[in-house]
Chain A
Amino acid sequence: MRYKGRGMSKIVFVLRRLLGAIPTLALIVALSFLLTRLAPGGPFDEEQSLPPEIRANLEAAYGLDQPIHLQFGRYVRGLLHGDFGPSFKFRDFTVGELIADGLPVSLVLGFAAMLLALAIGIPAGIWSALNRGRAPDRIVMAFAVAGISIPVFVIAPFLALVFGIWLHWLPVAGWVPGRPSDLILPVVALSLPVIAYVARLMRGSLLEILRAPWIRAARARGLAERTVILRHALPAALLPVVSYAGPAAASVLAGSLVVETLFGLPGMGRHLVQGALNRDYTLVMGMVIVYAALMIALNLIADLVYDSLDPRIGRERKL
């Protein structure tokens, strides 16, 4: 099935990867469930002088009086039906409702940041590599080092201070649905570290590819420099950037906790932070499971893109 079977083996590959994601997700569910049940003390400990009968009723209502394997079974059954259980602290909401409430905001924020990072990082890296050692390279690389070392929780307040408070160009915080200016600062803050990393990766891999013999061969055939770079070098040089998509997604998701809290965006990240501060187990568990599923999905997509870009994979596909 070396050549003929390519289409077929592609489907097999996708299916195998999808199946491979299930144990990981199951492990995450099991681990987060076990960890939260290991906790010293229960979710109602902070309620002042709760009469024992009411406490027992509360625990019965949430199923906390059952043995742990029954609780786990109940939780997993719920998850399979899209039910993440009730939130222990936001009594009027289920975790599912809070996720449904926050997920769209977080997704818009995350995807905008990733797109911006690629749209700026890739050209910046190419520009830097093609001007190796000269001023553009120095500028881009200085920026990249800064972007990698300065965390989002420093960049974000700094941007808010300069563009929101001093210059009054953009709102400092807040969220009105449909007002894109609310999203500019959060998206920029979130994407800066990723831009920096992508630019550095892109520069490094392009420089390495340009030394490869087949690039010299393309030049020897008399192809225009533009064609050599765009058609021959670039697809190969993009591979490391594609495989960085997973870590980039992790960084954007973690950064969104900071950005949503700081700019007052009603996304999942803010709910997660609130949940963590309130020790709201079900909320934190549900959010972490959703974040993990997002990361697994993004990694899967990145692998598929990588697979279709790299001509070497697929000839003899082994997992």
Chain B
Amino acid sequence: MSGGIWSEALAALRKDRLAMASAALLGVLAFAAIVGPSFLDYREDEIDWSHMAAPPFEAAGHWLGTDRLGRDLLVRTLHGLRVSLVIALAATLVSLVIGVAWGAIAGFRRGRTDALMMRFVDVLYSLPQVFFVIILTVVFGRGPLILLVAIGAFSWLTMARIVRGQALALREREFVDAAIVGGSGTLRIVGRHIVPNLMGPVIVYATLTLPQVILVESFLSFLGIGIQEPLASLGNLIADGAAEMETAPWMLAVPATCLMLVVFGFNFLGDGLRDALDPRDR
């Protein structure tokens, strides 16, 4: 793989201020979510009996206030962010592995294999996804793992379609012919020649999958079907906040702002990556 395309893309990305700012913001948020809670005075489920529903900056140590049970909102939001990021990364990894392998093999083999594999994707695509995730959580109980499996089960479909389209075009190129003539098998050609050459769109789409997964996870947690109390997630924190917004609007504002920053960040970074990796617009 030549370094040319990648270093060029990186240079283009560096010039994109919005994308770089988003990357920096995401870095800070991720860092805060990982190490932040251990530097704060309160634990996720610790109840401060003397400061219930305290507004931000009023009670000592509770920088962003507390909820109605006296739990520190900053710590809970950071924990929620951690849960969201972990689930998003894991589900995106699932979509990467399954989607890229599925699409690359279908696109390379063409013909009946392709028709069969993509028909399967079409069928899953036609299902109302959110509702099937709800059925899965109804059936197998609510928890982070079920949520991850249920979201992951659908998140790879678009990736498979994108990769297949790219693979169909790539397999007509001379270096693939050369590899076939050289006697390489399907797996080797797909792994060594097809996949490395379609990493651009894959990276872009993976970046755009992350916020989608975060939104689905928060949506379900908001409805009470996702992550359950006392575990915090951005979704159930927003639901709590919405219930108390009349008296304690910060309980809504803090997790909602955090969620929006993350989603904005990934969307802008994804757009920036797309511009950087797509040489047509340069």
CB pair A38 B223 closer than 8 Å: no
CB pair A276 B267 closer than 8 Å: no
Q: Does A150 contact B (CB under 8 A)?
A: yes
CB pair B225 A149 closer than 8 Å: no
Q: State in angstroms the CA–CA spacing of A28 and B218 once bound together.
A: 25
Q: Does A250 contact B (CB under 8 A)?
A: yes
Which of the residues B128, B138, B242, B260 comes within 8 Å of A157, measured between beta carbons?
Answer: B242
Chain B residues with Cβ under 8 A from A28's Cβ? 127-128
A269 nearest CB neighbor, chain B only: B223
B246 nearest CB neighbor, chain A only: A165
CB pair B267 A272 closer than 8 Å: no
Chain A residues with Cβ under 8 A from B135's Cβ? 32, 35-36, 284-285, 288
Which of the residues B126, B131, B136, B137 comes within 8 Å of A291, measured between beta carbons?
Answer: B131
Chain B residues with Cβ under 8 A from A292's Cβ? 127-128, 131
CB pair B238 A154 closer than 8 Å: yes
If A157-B238, A261-B223, A276-B138 touch, whether A149 touches B211 (CB-CB below 8 Å) is yes
Q: State in angstroms the CA–CA spacing of A69 and B252 once bound together.
A: 48
Q: Which of A106-114, A231-239, A251-259 forms part of the interface with chain B?
A: A251-259
Q: Does B139 contact A (CB under 8 A)?
A: yes
CB pair A31 B242 closer than 8 Å: no
CB pair A284 B134 closer than 8 Å: yes
CB pair A151 B223 closer than 8 Å: no
Q: State in angstroms the CA–CA spacing of A66 and B127 once bound together.
A: 28
B264 nearest CB neighbor, chain A only: A149
A55 smallest CB distance to B (angstroms)? 20
Residues of B within 8 A of A (CB): 123, 126-132, 134-141, 211, 215, 218-219, 222-225, 235, 238-239, 241-242, 245-246, 249, 252, 256, 259-260, 263-264, 267
CB pair B130 A148 closer than 8 Å: no
What are 12 pairs between A and B in contact, CB < 8 Å? A24-B123, A149-B263, A149-B267, A153-B219, A153-B239, A154-B259, A157-B238, A253-B128, A254-B131, A258-B223, A261-B223, A272-B134
Q: State in angstroms the CA–CA spacing of A273 and B235 once bound together.
A: 15
Chain A residues with Cβ under 8 A from B263's Cβ? 149-151
CB pair B223 A257 closer than 8 Å: yes
Q: State in angstroms the CA–CA spacing of A72 and B264 once bound together.
A: 45
Q: State in angstroms the CA–CA spacing of A157 and B222 once bound together.
A: 12
Q: State in angstroms the CA–CA spacing of A158 and B238 once bound together.
A: 11
If A149-B264, A158-B256, A291-B131 touch, whether A276 touches B225 (CB-CB below 8 Å) is yes
Q: Does A75 contact B (CB under 8 A)?
A: no
If A38-B139, A165-B245 touch, whether A150 touches B260 (CB-CB below 8 Å) is yes
CB pair A288 B245 closer than 8 Å: no
Chain A residues with Cβ under 8 A from B219's Cβ? 151, 153, 254, 258
Q: State in angstroms the CA–CA spacing of A40 and B146 once bound together.
A: 13
A110 smallest CB distance to B (angstroms)? 13
Chain A residues with Cβ under 8 A from B139's Cβ? 35-36, 38-39, 281
Q: What 3 pairs between A and B have smallest CB-CB spacing?
A: A157-B242, A39-B139, A153-B222
CB pair A40 B223 closer than 8 Å: no
Chain B residues with Cβ under 8 A from A257's Cβ? 223
B211 nearest CB neighbor, chain A only: A149
Q: State in angstroms the CA–CA spacing of A291 and B127 once bound together.
A: 10
A36 nearest CB neighbor, chain B only: B139
Which of the residues A27, A36, A39 comes within 8 Å of B123, measured between beta carbons?
Answer: A27
A21 nearest CB neighbor, chain B only: B126
